[in-house]
Amino acid sequence: MSWTRKILRVNLSKGSCTSEPLNMEWANLYLGQRGLASKYLSEEVDPTCDPLGPDNKMIMATGPLTGTMASTAGRYSVITKGPLTGAIACSNSGGFFGAELKFAGWDMVIFEGKSDKPVYLLIQDDNAELKSAEHMWGKTAWETDDIIHATHQDPQMRVACIGRTAENGCLYAAVMNDKHRAAGRSGVGTVMASKNLKAVAVRGTQGIGNVDDAEAFMSATGDGKAVLAENAVTGQGLPAYGTQVLMNVINGIGGLPARNMRDVGFEGAENISAEAMAEPRKSDGKPNLTTNGACFGCTIACGRISTVDPTHFSVKDKPQYQGNSGGLEYEAAWALGADTGVDDLDALTYVNFLCNEDGMDPITYGATVAAAMEMFEDGVITTKETGGVELRFGDAKAFVAITEQFVNGGDFSADLGLGSKRLTEKYGKPDLSMTVKGQEFPAYDPRGIQGIGLNYATSNRGACHLRGYTIASEVLGIPVKTELNDTDGKPELVKAFQDATALVDSAGLCIFTTFAWGMDNIAPQIDAACEGDWSVENCLETGERIWNMERLFNEAAGFTADDDKLPKRLLEEAIKDGPTKGQVNRLGEMLPKYYEVRGWTADGKIPKETRQRLSL
């Protein structure tokens, strides 16, 4: 069955940790991780609650395949009501923490209430206890990880924790695990800080002993790994170049937004691309990219391990940043780079280190700085607000200075911690926020690529590529190529990607497998691991059920069809030049059809028949 069938409930107000059985009826409908934890959240939390109040809950959840021998099966998610958006938030992370939680015998941990004082949760197999974290409060995520390891003297212990930005109220703080992996989006780390929970440390020795049909599972996971190895993308492209290989592709097709999405196309793209990361640099002959890295059980290994040129201004005289650390992934490189107009690879790598060290979402952070840069250039804010930094597009030194100021809680940090929506509203320029439902866009311009715009507009956690990565089809031709600027067929495409992703995110697998795997590769692995019927059809229906359940949470939280929209800039300001010149996003052509294919009403509501069909 693969589930441990055990939940750890941690009441931070009372200081209690209790074990309870997993609701198997729900597990059969929502699988695990994103789906199952969202079901618990929907049942236990009032969607109108204050995300940073004690009534909100935070769930760390694994999927049934997490910790098994399936490729990439090390994932866990943090599910809560997000403070950046006010919508349901689910942030997925790799690394090793998720598998360790499973080895300790837990499917998920539900945190409720709020502790009086900073605490961390220590899980050692069946034993769980809250311990004082007063000596860790005010420390970075990296320091916290080190303190916990020094205290418990167990190198195999895995830590998920928050850095200083979360403590300082930054609304897009991440939960960092294994130092370089992040449940990054929507401010799940801020919720953790609001509960005075600094870290979760886990050590599990129980393994996974309850796979439903072990022989079938061995065979299905073996088949899956063979497919990943033989596929040119998952077998060669991702390990060699990482996600960053997209920088030149997306720029080449006219889909790379730049300078707060004021422009499309970034002249510095090649300097911050995967190819540039692999080039030996002049100072020490070493490339930015040291090696690739893998999360638990992953046979793809897309991770980037990088160093900054030790003579570069950003790390000169800072030996602690001159070693190997988590390098740039595509979305971070875009938000920190193209969106701020900075094409200094070392500066961006250093800022990325700081995002990991102090736990903030680099997409929202970069995009928020970009919005601030546009306001600075327009004279809306000045050095008075920015603590003396001339915050102009393309200025690497200014970007490094503002980031150091930000993580250390300097003058402009409270403003930057708001995210671009609240920041631009504060200064009377709301149209300069490139967000949906309050969350910033990732690295694909919806004017150049139509379907991703519909996905952004309808994503349940605000603008997000990982909710329905139609780029796979629209740009990369996976599984089939669709035309960038067509709107026909895009509602169906978006729905299919969104539902399939919801299922993958609920299984314990990494979404990057889907560059090679279809549901016919994934379903047999789930079916062999879990009791019940996990046919392709049931998996797809489960994904659709999860999507609709998330939408119902948001509806109850006050979201309506009015929130399924894109910023005016993307609907009205046409691309100025390049291969997509003249284009805007034509959301209006796609949204009604999308509601229809989802079985929703014309105003985006989920009618009774659809709820019944999906057992909601």
Partner 1 sequence: MNVNIEFYASLMKYLPPGKSRFRREVSVEDDITLSRLIKQFHISEAEAHLVLVNGHFVNCGEDRDQRKLVEGDTISIWPPVAGG
Binding site for partner 1 (CB under 8 A): 231-233, 236-238, 240-246, 248-249, 252-254, 270, 274-276, 279, 302, 329-331, 465-466, 469, 471-472, 475-478, 481, 484, 511-512, 515, 578-580
96 scored as a contact of ligand SF4 (CB under 6 A)? no
Return the structure tokens found at 392: 């102009």
Closest separation between CB of residue 294 and ligand SF4, Å? 5
Q: Which of 88, 220, 348, 510 binds ligand SF4 (CB under 6 A)?
A: 510
Pairing of strands 119-124, 197-203: parallel
Closest separation between CB of residue 423 and partner 1, Å? 27
Which among partner 1, ligand SF4, none contacts residue 301 (Cβ within 5 to 8 A by kind)? ligand SF4
Total site size for ligand SF4, rule CB under 6 A: 11
Closest separation between CB of residue 511 and ligand SF4, Å? 7
Q: Are the C-beta atoms of residues 540 and 519 closer than 8 Å to each other?
A: yes
Return the DSSP state at 18: E
300 scored as a contact of ligand SF4 (CB under 6 A)? yes
Q: Which of 49, 216, 229, 301 binds ligand SF4 (CB under 6 A)?
A: 301
Which among partner 1, ligand SF4, none contacts residue 496 (Cβ within 5 to 8 A by kind)? none
Q: Give the 3-state secondary structure of residue 453.
A: helix
298 scored as a contact of ligand SF4 (CB under 6 A)? yes
- Give the CA-trace dihedral at 47, 50, 55, 58, to 10 degrees: 80
Over the window 461 to 500, marking each residue x when it contacts ligand SF4 by CB under 6 A and - when it does not, the resulting string is: ----------------------------------------
245 scored as a contact of ligand SF4 (CB under 6 A)? no
Taking the C-alpha atoms of residue 32 and residue 55, their distance in angstroms, rounded to an integer, is 23
Q: Are the C-beta atoms of residues 184 and 165 closer than 8 Å to each other?
A: no
* Residue (510 or 584) nearer to ligand SF4, CB: 510
Taking the C-alpha atoms of residue 64 and residue 47, their distance in angstroms, rounded to an integer, is 26
List CB contacts of 324: < 8 A, sequence separation 6 or more: 290, 291, 305, 306, 307
Taking the C-alpha atoms of residue 134 and residue 126, their distance in angstroms, rounded to an integer, is 25
Which among ligand SF4, partner 1, none contacts residue 253 (Cβ within 5 to 8 A by kind)? partner 1
Taking the C-alpha atoms of residue 7 and residue 408, their distance in angstroms, rounded to an integer, is 37
Closest separation between CB of residue 154 and ligand SF4, Å? 23
Q: Which of 469, 512, 515, 594 binds ligand SF4 (CB under 6 A)?
A: 512
Whether omega before 479 lies within 30 degrees of 0, making that bond cis, reads yes
Q: How many CA atoms are closer than 13 Å to the CA of 281, on its beta-carbon side?
A: 20
Taking the C-alpha atoms of residue 151 and residue 169, their distance in angstroms, rounded to an integer, is 27
Q: What share of the chain is helix, strand, coil (3-state, %, to 5)?
A: 40, 15, 45
Over the window 57 to 86, marking each residue x when it contacts ligand SF4 by CB under 6 A and - when it does not, the resulting string is: ---------------x--------------
State the residues that interact with ligand SF4 by CB under 6 A. 72, 94, 294-295, 298, 300-303, 510, 512
